[in-house]
Structure 1
Amino acid sequence: MGSAAAEQQPLLLGQDPHGRISDLSSATIEELLEHSIPLRWWARLVAWESRMLWLLSGSSIVVSIFNYMLSFVSLMFVGHLGAVELAGASMASVVIQGLAYGIMLGMASAVQTVCGQAYGAKRYSEMGIICQRAIVLHLGAAVLLTVIYWFSGDILLAIGQSETITEPGQLFTRGLIPQLYAFALACPMQRFLQAQNIVNPLAYMSVGVFLLHTLLTWIVVYVLDYGLLGAALTLSLSWWILVLINALYIVLSPSCKETWTGLSIRAFTGVWPYFKLTVASAVMLCLEIWYFNGLVLLAGFLPNATIELDTMSICMNYWNWDLQFMLGLSTAASIRVGNELGAGHPRVAKFSVVVVNVTSILISIVFTAIVLIFRVGLSELFTSDEEVIDAVSEITPLLAISVFLNGIQPILSGVAIGSGWQAVVAYVNLTAYYIIGLPIGCVLGFKTSLEVAGIWWGMIIGVILQTATLIILTARTNWNKEVENAAARLHRSAE
């Protein structure tokens, strides 16, 4: 049998072993991986999967970074209004906006799962229904979150923040209520487009809106002098512009003619199975985002709060930039795995998981080296305070460990989303982060001399445990069974 397979492989790959990578297909790779492949073919298979990965991840990274930059730019302009305004807006962004982002992004990962698998299975008409169903649920969540946004000042006071910070924080958050509804529409629409490998147009839209947002914020804050509320409303406006452009593309583009067939009453049927996956998705991602935001809050309760909070904030800024890059790779991993499972290609899905993880680890090694080499220069970009610079330099090795872990953990989470494991990962996150990591961080931060380094160690321990669990889950996965699960999930969503 081995000799027969060997005879078939050149025919499947083409007579020329140096033929174009683009000539290959998922079906061809799936058939090849069933057999024992000669060593000379592996480089070409890796190149094929890497090409597929970077076609998706390059633009996904751009989308992730520039969507994040909208809020980042707003906070930069707010910082020039005064220290109190910046503190209030930053705290509101971490606590209130972080809560909403966790819920919305988590719910949207269900779109990634089901639409990605539907696209792989060529059930294109189902994708538009799934997107509409997600939008209905997202808007429902936005209505509930509006109450939290409106009473954000009371919430900030309840967690121990001073009235000096809560007043501007509440003003900023109330100005972001329109953005909350824009985010409820943007999340499902972007995942809907990404699931069908439409990523370049999304990248162009994100960059264009970012440039417009920067100009508008400068005009509103500096020229018109509308202050903190003006900055918040401008951020809301920019998100609505992004939503409008996304919607026009979906409705008018020939690329979506098979996947978007117009509004349908079916969006309100078969909601319960999808709702369960949505809740699991929201819990999974919320537990992750709130964990890291909570550690920043803890730094504010340390004895030397100003220095410790500045140190944590600077390090978390660099960690966030690295995370946004890796989230682009995570999105690509989710799309690749979902598409291949939907298409009934378990071996290609497994192969994709291996390639994306090796790629991300290699990138993280480079990023980790940069953090360690430029440990002093990185802090000097944010502050000239020698005490803060020294504190950041001391904690930089821990930042480097976190940057390296970013090359594994988000990617495995992307694989979990593509496979539909959100409920399982939610339990993993609860245990690793809140039952183990957070208590350890509190003990090391408040009961030892480590202070902010102790809190960070708690974060690292939680992430290591979560990552190790996901590695075990992924390594033990029966990918043939996952193909069956994907087919069953699509059948339930069509009911």
Structure 2
Amino acid sequence: MVNDQDQLRQPILDSEPDSTALEASNQGDGLESPLEKVLSDTQLPSFKRLRLATWIELNLLFRLAAPAVLVYVVNNFMSLSTRVFAGHLGNLELAAASLGNSGVQLFAYGLMLGMGSAVETLCGQAYGAEKYDMLGIYLQRATIVLTLTGLPLLLIFLLSKPILILFGETPKLAAEAAVFVYGLIPQIFAYAINFPMQKFLQAQRIVAPSAYISAATLGVHILLSWVAVYKLGMGLIGASLVLSLSWWIIVGAQFIYILKSSRCKETWSGFSLQAFSGLWDFLKLSAASAVMLCLETWYFQVLVLIAGLLENPELALNSLAVCMAISGLLFMVSVGFNAAASVRVSNELGAGNPKSAAFSILVVTIVSLMIAVVEAVVVLSFRDVISYAFTDGETVANAVSHLTPYLAITLILNGIQPVLSGKHSYPSS
């Protein structure tokens, strides 16, 4: 593992030349990216250098960020739509689905996504250093580690009812939430395969296919959820089983793309026994990424568990669930920008362009913050009606309206936090 990472530190050109940017700069040693050349050109006036650099970075960033945001938003919306279907079954079902999703499933999501982020960093630097053969090895190595990590998570899902009761939830609510969680068990191992594949593709700047796959799967998911919940009467277990199935559809489609696409022929050369070497080193690296993201998701889980202990747990959970669902959906925009920034920075570092890496962080942070402010304003404008998308209860709508100002503050803070936290993993890789 150490030898793999040492090889990635060679400053080799990775980016495709941009003719406009190259004409804007008269200096460079031939190994710098167009952005690095502009940032290093002291003969250009400061304002012009900043304008050119910003234009180059925005073009590179949005080509990655737009489909990445779509992927994360659509994937989150699948979970959100499942809770919407549950909510229209009744307040108890909405509370149970929210408790099962945020109290149990969110832990698995945060852990798997956090561990998968190590693939994003390693593959991004390998791609920037033109060590293309290592990307497939990292993908397989991550899949093995995440699949093994899923085994103890399986035990937590199976014991979700007594665990929730231990935390003080009512037996009736815990039982319903456990039913929902049981249907999400296959989703654990879909995460274990999906996140490494997703990061593998993103590191190569291949993001549009994942967006198309996720968008198509969302349509299938909504149709199957409607059939399972309303036509077949499968209730909570039907809704969660369909969600698990939808994630496996995404996994299968992405794997077929990797096998068949000519864009992956240099980075995927088939299964290799080399993937079984360095598992412990990869586990330590991925665990560090996972802890950071898990700490961010655990406070959501704590809020949900506390809400279930209040005098009227159904109302507390339902109103908090609406706010968290909105926050989680819009949070995916920032996560998408984080993914784009991770690819940009790791590619530039792999190619030996430190100024470009630092400038990328600055630009993506400002852009993500601006978008978050707009989101907060929109949410405040619809504070009195936004809950009716989830449930018909007027009492819940009033409670959500009172919580919306705090939600707006959360959206703004979440607009920059994922982007800033994402950069901490780069130097350690």
Please give the TM-score of this superposition, normalised by the length of structure 2. Answer: 0.88
Write the distance in 2 (CA, Å) between the matches of 1:294 and 1:399.
16
Distance change (3 Å), C-alpha of 1:207 and 1:226: same
Give the equivalent residue in structure 2 for 1:29: 35
Please give the per-residue CA displacement for 1:143-198, whole angstroms capped at 9, x wherever unaligned. Answer: 12111111111111111111211222222222222221112111111111111111
- How many residue pairs were aligned? 405
Write the distance in 1 (CA, Å) between the matches of 2:389 and 2:182.
31
Question: Which amino acid letter does the alignment assign opposite residue 257 of structure 1?
Answer: K
Please tell me whether residue 92 in structure 1 is matched to residue 127 in structure 2: no
Give the equivalent residue in structure 1 for 2:223: 215
Please tell me whether residue 298 in structure 1 is matched to residue 306 in structure 2: yes
Please give the per-residue CA displacement for 1:411-448, whole angstroms capped at 9, x wherever unaligned. Answer: 1122234x1xxxxxxxxxxxxxxxxxxxxxxxxxxxxx
Q: Deviation of residue 16 (structure 1)?
A: 7.1
**Residues 183-192 or 372-381, more deviating:** 372-381
Please give the per-residue CA displacement for 1:1-40, whole angstroms capped at 9, x wherever unaligned. Answer: xxxxxxxxxx9955579xxxxxx99623213322423122
Give the equivalent residue in structure 1 for 2:334: 326
Distance change (3 Å), C-alpha of 1:118 and 1:223: same
Please tell me whether residue 72 in structure 1 is matched to residue 80 in structure 2: yes
Write the distance in 1 (CA, Å) between the matches of 2:247 and 2:396.
35
Question: Which amino acid letter does the alignment assign opposite residue 33 of structure 2?
Answer: A
Distance change (3 Å), C-alpha of 1:299 and 1:163: closer
Q: Deviation of residue 307 (structure 1)?
A: 4.1
Amino-acid identity (%):
44
Write the distance in 1 (CA, Å) between the matches of 2:89 and 2:384.
28
Give the equivalent residue in structure 2 for 1:283: 291
Give the equivalent residue in structure 2 for 1:108: 116
Question: Which amino acid letter does the alignment assign opposite residue 359 of structure 1?
Answer: V
| 1:206 maps to which of 214, 218, 233 | 214
Write the distance in 1 (CA, Å) between the matches of 2:228 and 2:316.
33
**Residues 389-398 or 50-59, more deviating:** 389-398
Q: Deviation of residue 113 (structure 1)?
A: 1.1
Q: Deviation of residue 326 (structure 1)?
A: 1.3
Please give the per-residue CA displacement for 1:192-236, whole angstroms capped at 9, x wherever unaligned. Answer: 111111100000000011111111121222222233322222222
Q: Which runs of 5+ in 2 are unaligned?
A: 1-18
| 1:156 maps to which of 149, 152, 164 | 164
**Residues 39-48 or 155-164, more deviating:** 39-48
Question: Which amino acid letter does the alignment assign opposite residue 267 of structure 1?
Answer: A
Q: Deviation of residue 408 (structure 1)?
A: 1.2
Q: Deviation of residue 52 (structure 1)?
A: 0.7
Write the distance in 1 (CA, Å) between the matches of 2:256 and 2:240.
25
Question: Which amino acid letter does the alignment assign opposite residue 249 of structure 2?
Answer: I
Write the distance in 1 (CA, Å) between the matches of 2:22 and 2:204.
27
What are the residue-to-residue correspondences of 1:298-317 with 2, within 5 Å? 298-317=306-325
Give the equivalent residue in structure 2 for 1:356: 364
Write the distance in 1 (CA, Å) between the matches of 2:169 and 2:401.
28
Distance change (3 Å), C-alpha of 1:185 and 1:342: same
Give the equivalent residue in structure 1 for 2:155: 147
Please give the per-residue CA displacement for 1:312-334, whole angstroms capped at 9, x wherever unaligned. Answer: 22222222222011111111111
Structure number with higher relative contact order (C-alpha < 8 Å, ≥ 6 residues apart): 2
Q: What RMSD over aligned residues (CA atoms) do the two structures have, in Å?
A: 2.3
What are the residue-to-residue correspondences of 1:86-485 with 2, within 5 Å? 86-379=94-387, 381-382=389-390, 387-417=395-425, 419=426, 482=427
Q: Deviation of residue 308 (structure 1)?
A: 3.7
Please tell me whether residue 48 in structure 1 is matched to residue 51 in structure 2: no
Distance change (3 Å), C-alpha of 1:78 and 1:307: closer
Do the aligned partners of 1:26 and 1:348 also contact (CA within 8 Å) in 2?
no
Distance change (3 Å), C-alpha of 1:340 and 1:367: same
Q: Deviation of residue 237 (structure 1)?
A: 1.6
Please give the per-residue CA displacement for 1:449-487, whole angstroms capped at 9, x wherever unaligned. Answer: xxxxxxxxxxxxxxxxxxxxxxxxxxxxxxxxx4xx6xx
Write the distance in 2 (CA, Å) between the matches of 1:166 and 1:304.
15
Please give the per-residue CA displacement for 1:76-131, whole angstroms capped at 9, x wherever unaligned. Answer: 22233333333222211112211111111111011111111111111110010001
